[in-house]
């Protein structure tokens, strides 16, 4: 072997050792996640379904939508064509809308665009329909409200008002202002 070849092999081996040592220096002590890296992701889910439970573990709110889009920065979820169902003591409330926004803490659902709420039970006299352009649902206390125009229909008649609130636990509603309506007297 010529001296020139020997020097080339020794130089090549030295460069290999130097590059190995340099690469180990860069990674030593940094085995954990990179600081400041945001690992949250924006995502979209198809055929979305959410269940909310009460303190006893009973499901009280079910929310469906063909699509949920979540914004990682804010934690807010956007739903297309949402449908919600709430249960309490024999009553079922159904809510349909064109769009909904779920707050980051999952406690407020803001329905918008042709919102329709229907209360049902085994009795026809308990049937109630509420239509508005916007409804805010507070999930835990099960309160729905709006400051928009609302149309309310029950077996006795129809009313229109500016703003309303509904307590779904007691099945009572309150109309705010500008109330007009027609009622039919029920024959016995």
Tens digits of per-residue pLDDT, 120-129?
Answer: 887 877 889 9
Whole-prediction pTM? 0.73
Q: What are phi and psi of 98, to 5 degrees?
A: -85, -30
| pLDDT tens per residue across span 13-70 | 888 787 877 776 555 455 566 676 566 678 888 898 988 887 888 888 899 999 999 8
Strand, helix or coil for residue 170:
coil
Q: Does the CA dihedral 71-72-73-77 come out positive or negative?
A: positive
Number of other residues whose CB lies within 10 A of the CB of residue 8: 11
- Computed over every residue of the chain, the mean pLDDT equals 86
CA-atom Rg of the chain in angstroms: 30
131 token code pair: 């239509």
Q: What is the pLDDT of residue 64?
A: 94
Q: How confident is the model at residue 156 (pLDDT cuts 50, 70, 90)?
A: confident
């Amino acid at each position: 072997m010529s001296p020139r070849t020997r020097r080339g092999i020794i130089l090549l081996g030295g460069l290999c050792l130097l590059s190995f040592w340099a690469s180990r220096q860069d990674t030593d002590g940094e085995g954990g996640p990179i600081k400041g890296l945001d690992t949250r992701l924006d995502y979209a889910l198809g055929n979305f379904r959410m269940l909310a439970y009460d303190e006893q573990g009973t499901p009280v709110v079910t929310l469906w939508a063909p699509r949920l889009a979540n914004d990682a920065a804010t934690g807010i979820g956007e739903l297309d064509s949402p449908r919600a169902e709430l249960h309490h003591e024999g009553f079922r409330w159904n809510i349909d809308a064109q769009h909904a926004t779920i707050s980051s803490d999952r406690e407020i659902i803001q329905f918008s665009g042709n919102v329709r709420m229907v209360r049902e039970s085994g009795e026809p006299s308990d049937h109630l329909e509420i239509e508005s352009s916007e409804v805010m649902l507070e999930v835990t206390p099960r309160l729905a409200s709006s400051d928009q125009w609302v149309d309310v229909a029950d077996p006795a008649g129809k009313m229109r008002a500016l703003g309303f609130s509904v307590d779904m636990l007691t099945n009572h509603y309150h109309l705010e202002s500008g109330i007009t309506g027609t009622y039919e007297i029920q024959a016995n």
